[in-house]
A and B are shown apart, each in its own frame.
Chain A
Amino acid sequence: MDSFSYYSQTVLNGILAGCIYALFAMGLTLIYGVLNFVNFAHGELIMWGAYFLFLFMGEPFGLPLYFAILPALLLTGCLGLAMEYSVFRPIRKANRLTLLIAAMGISVFLRNAAQFFWGAEVRTYGLEVMPGTRFIGLYLTMQQFAIIGVTILCVAGVYLLFFKSRLGKSMRALSDNLDLARISGIDTKRAILAAWVISAVLAGIGGILMALDTNLNPEMGVVNLIKAFAATLIGGVGNLWGALIGGLLIGLAENIGVLFISPGYKDGIAFVIMVLILLARPYVILGERSD
């Protein structure tokens, strides 16, 4: 392989990874926008999304991939709703630390539940590698085509939902100001539930794509939470398109970065980017009200 296509392959891999991170980050930033807190259990939605698919493809269901995806995403959405109903709604008015520790508790519970049922080992869906194609001199597997296609579909879907529908309008109003939205007669309950479902399903899709392309294990949630977070930070917290761009940048930085440093540190690149962004920022005292 000549060096040009080597580098362009690297860029392509970066974009592929970035697409998945973008899906994670968009879900994370959506919940932050609407409910104003970071869902520490977001990584577990990613991981469980992938494992739900594993569940439906294995015994006793044995569904083929395309039929297993729908119930898997359905369950992931339900898992998001379950978090909201069982934990986050009852303590919505509590202070931040309480919310955060609860989210952390959910994350620990779900991560270990996955390990309890499926073990800590790395697994794959056991699919044969689907033959790929050459595309402008680059090699792409079918999975990778799927990643790009699905991401574009998701982004388009989120765009339509968020900016063209009534529900999206109420979600946006919510992220501007929860109390104001409530008194202006917006059905906040429905908008919050919708945000959970969308966030969870995006996480599930991302998790499945990632597992299809590589593998799945119970630890995949935590690692990707940090990356999703770094991506939202790049794009500006609560900003959907920012999260998309941020995800792509993280993916590119990781894949280009390993050309220069040991692959053992690949997962640390997002963290370093995060620190660099923060160093450049001034200290701001938040929580200001003005009349």
Chain B
Amino acid sequence: MDLLLHLCIVVAIYTVFALSLNVEVGYTGLFNFGHVAFFAIGAYTSALLTLAGVPFAWAFVAALFLAGLCGFLLSIPALKLQGDYFGIATLGFGEILRMIFNNEVWLTKGPMGLPGIPRPEFFGIVFDTLPLYLALSAGFALATFAILSFIILSPFGRALKAVRDDETAAEILGKNAYAFKIKSFVIGSVFAGLAGVLWAHYATFISPGDFTLTETILVLLIVVMGGKGTLTGPVVGAVTLIFFQESVRFLRLPPEWTRLLGPLQQMIFGLLLVILMVFRPEGIVREKGGARVD
């Protein structure tokens, strides 16, 4: 039972994380390969502030704000790059951020990580049991889904899709592509920060090793496999992949296997990405409007 609750909590957190990436990758066509950075900023900000005694609600707000601000500051130079080059710039940002977490020991305790992150407390309720935490994270996941869907389905979301499909044509129709991309990136960053906060207070321990490229790949795979550019795709992807990943973790395997299990699982993820791209780039959930008429 506890295992199931744990699974659902992790699914909820990764749903938020994947939904945020989908705004960028699926709806704006931004190849963000450093998305984990904003997850990490959310996690570290909230963890550090609550450990310093700041109430959770304030730490929460600060974490989301900081994630958004960093997204804004990064996007100004990085979005001057097109496509793949933007991808490398974000990848680089992810790596550099981890470098900062590792090196600024006075603040982050470096590779040792931050233990004892308190459980969140909202309106006098301490979310310190699995069912309560599930309620909290599922609530946030639902809210994220609702808010992001509302944005995507609005004229604003429509303009994002236009920028994704053909930037020049969008400009010719009066859409400031650069500005729309920056806004999309900031929205994605804020919600990645939210996922990070939920993660930090669930795990109660974070270290720079939790925020590697591997995490970005996992969340990218969730979006791509579920169906990028669809509302429900990331949810479907999160359920499928997290169940797979977390159940492997609970298999009773001989210890000499576990050393190989991590890389093996990553190899499978990498292969899945390639196979999806070659054979079914649209993922599980298809976008509407795809049926061909003769």
Contacts and interface: CB of A to CB of B under 8 A. Distances in A.
Contacts of A230: 92
A112 B84 contact: no
Interface in B50-81: 76-81
Contacts of A272: 96
Interface residues of B, number: 53
A162 interface: no
A3 interface: no
Interface of B: 25, 29, 31, 33, 76-85, 87-89, 91-93, 95-96, 99, 102-103, 166-168, 171, 177-178, 213, 217, 220, 224, 228, 259-260, 262-264, 266-267, 269-274, 276-278, 281
Contacts of A271: 92-93, 95-96
Interface residues of A toward B: which range? 35 or more
B250 to A, nearest CB: 21
A259 interface: no
Contacts of B217: 104, 108
B272 A105 contact: yes
B85 A101 contact: no
Contacts of A116: 260, 263-264, 267
Given A115-B263, A222-B213, A101 B273 contact: yes
A40 B33 CA distance: 11
Contacts of A270: 92
Given A107-B270, A275-B77, A285-B177, A267 B99 contact: yes
A268 interface: yes
Given A100-B87, A105-B271, A268 B278 contact: no
- Interface residues of chain A: helix, strand, loop or mixed (majority): helix
B103 A112 contact: no
Interface of A: 37-38, 40, 87, 90-91, 94, 96-102, 104-113, 115-116, 119-120, 222-223, 225-226, 229-230, 233, 237, 262, 264-265, 267-268, 270-272, 274-275, 278-279, 281-288
Nearest to A116: B263
Given A116-B267, A233-B85, A285-B177, A262 B103 contact: yes
A97 B260 contact: no
Given A105-B277, A115-B263, 18 more contacts: A40-B87, A87-B274, A91-B281, A97-B25, A97-B83, A100-B31, A102-B274, A104-B220, A106-B270, A108-B266, A112-B264, A225-B88, A229-B92, A264-B102, A264-B103, A267-B99, A268-B95, A283-B178
A160 to B, nearest CB: 29
Nearest to A228: B88
A278 B81 contact: yes
A284 to B, nearest CB: 8
A244 to B, nearest CB: 19
A109 B271 contact: yes
A96 B86 CA distance: 12
B281 A94 contact: yes
A90 B281 CA distance: 13
